Amino acid sequence: MHENTLSENLAETFKEVSAMKNYGEVASYIPELQLVDADKFGVCLTSIDDSSCGQGDCNERFSIQSIAKVLSLTLAFKHLGRSCWERVDVEPAGTSFNSLVHLEYESGIPRNPFINSGALVVSDMLVSLLKDPKKEFLEFVRLLAKDDSIDYDDKTAASEYAEGYRNFAVINFLRSFGNIENDVEEVLHFYFHLCSIKMNCTQLSRTFLFLAHGGKDPISGERILTRSQSKRVNAIMMTCGFYDEAGEFAYEVGLPGKSGVGGGIVAVNPGSYSIAVWSPKLNPQGNSYRGMKFLEKFTTKTGHSIF
Ligand code: DON
């Protein structure tokens, strides 16, 4: 009997989900993100042997937003090792991505590096560590993607800065506990820029391939993280990548993943591939409605899961 290939399964699932009604709202709290065409839908899977298959708008760039938090954590963890965890924890928050509630009780130590408070602390670590944080972070992302055309989107960063009251509150609160070392404006500037990076699904799935290959880039052979560090980043994606919907993503999809309010989701099938989906309409938890639906159907059809 003919068994479907990955690309046939991808194409079938894409067709199926495209025919379903699409729910949700495009993010509007960052005004620039509202300008996107809400009906865009793309997906790309890259295997550790470097073969890729894509569907729909897989080569159109979008704002990766919180997906970048995995890359900033990777760079900080690479430099600092376990000492990262003195300033940020690895527990699921069970709250929205921009919540402040735990910080007061937990003395300014964010629950994990993927909620905004945690990502701001990681950004502060990088501002302390790197000579030119914006330049060096972008170089790191370009190295992972093998693509020097990847860049920040200054308009999106400025748009978030202009309306970023919540992140200003979070970072000042963190600073009051002594968990921000640098000037808050400088850290916010860096954070808003890393969230503003634009990539397409093809580039994103390529970028995350090292996490499907024990921390080593399977194409260049370059070691990005140790095997043990790679396990831990995947574990944090699995438990904290979807905020108060992390349980739902584990239940429906069963792979480590990370979402962004630009409508992107990246998931990693360790030992096999990385997959990126983009559809801008978000569910109430701020995760792509169609992206989650696609990954649930694809992993159910193929039987792929870490469980
Ligand atoms: O800080 C923010 O609110 C945004 N730059 C990123 C939030 C985000 O992507 C949450 N993810 N689903």
pLDDT at 1: 55
Verify whether residue 231 is a known catalytic residue.
no
Q: Which tens digits make up the pLDDT trace of 108-129?
A: 999 999 999 999 999 999 999 9
Q: Is 259 helix (H, G, I), strand (E, B) or coil?
A: strand
Predicted local distance difference test score (pLDDT) of residue 3: 74
Phi, psi for 275 (deg, rounded to 5): -135, 135
pLDDT in tens, 265-298: 999 999 999 999 999 999 999 999 999 999 999 9
Lowest-pLDDT range of 2-6, 33-37, 128-132, 288-292: 2-6
**pLDDT (average), residues 172-185:** 98
155 as an active site residue: the answer is no
Query: Contact 190/181 with Cβ under 8 angstroms?
Result: no
Query: Given this model, what pLDDT does residue 72 score?
Result: 98
Distance CA 38, CA 41 (A): 9
Cβ atoms within 10 Å, residue 164: 20
pTM of model > 0.95: yes
The 10s digit of each residue's pLDDT in 223-251 is 999 999 999 999 999 999 999 999 999 99
How far does residue 97's CA lie from ligand 1's centre (Å)?
7
What per-residue confidence (pLDDT) applies to 131? 98
Report which of 242, 253, 252 is spatially closest to residue 288, judged by C-alpha positions. 242
> Residues lining ligand 1, CB < 6 A?
65-66, 97-98, 116, 160, 167, 195, 259-261, 286-287
Q: What distances in angstroms separate CA 134 from CA 188, 258, 262, one per listed residue? A: 12, 22, 20
**Ligand 1 mean position, distance from CA 65 (Å):** 5
Active site residue 128: no
Q: Give me the mean pLDDT over the 157-165 stretch.
A: 96
Residue 167 clears pLDDT 70, i.e. is over it: yes
